Amino acid sequence: MHLSDTRPTSASYLKYVQKIREGVSASVKPVIDTAGADRKLGIASALDTFSRADVRSFGAVFAAHVTLLNRLDVAATLSRQPERTLTARAPRAGRQSA
C-alpha cells in the first residue's frame, strides 16, 4: 500500500505524534539551549505544550504541533537574515531634505 492510497485520519496522526514526540523534543532542546536561539519566540513554551498535549485530543495535539513548527520556522528564518538597525540614513547627495 502506498501513502497516496490512504487518507490520513486523526487516529493515524495521533499515533504518528506518539512515535515522534521524543525525537522532536530531543531535536529541539539543543536549539533552545543555544544562546539567543529562542529570540523571545516562546519555542521552549511551545515544546512544553506539545510534549504535554493529551494524545487523545486531536485538536490539542495538532494545535501544539503546528505552533511549535511555526515558531521553529520563524527562528530559522530570522537566523538567516542579517541584523537590521534602526538608524536613520543620511539623505543622498543632491537631494534636499524637507
Burial pattern 27-43, b for ≥16 Cβ within 10 A else e, equals ebeebeeeeebbeebeb
Q: How far apart are CA 51 and CA 47, in angstroms?
A: 6
Q: Tell me the CB-side half-sphere exposure of residue 42, using CA atoms within 13 A.
A: 8
Amino acid at 25: S
Look at residue 6 in the predicted model and tell me its pLDDT. 78
Q: Tens of pLDDT along 51-96?
A: 999 989 999 999 999 999 999 999 888 888 776 555 555 566 665 6
Looking at per-residue confidence, does 34 or 28 come out higher? Answer: 28
Which sequence spans correspond to the domains of the chain?
Answer: 10-79
Average pLDDT over residues 23-50: 88
Q: Does residue 75 contact residue 39 with C-beta atoms inside 8 Å?
A: yes
Does 5 have pLDDT greater than 70? no
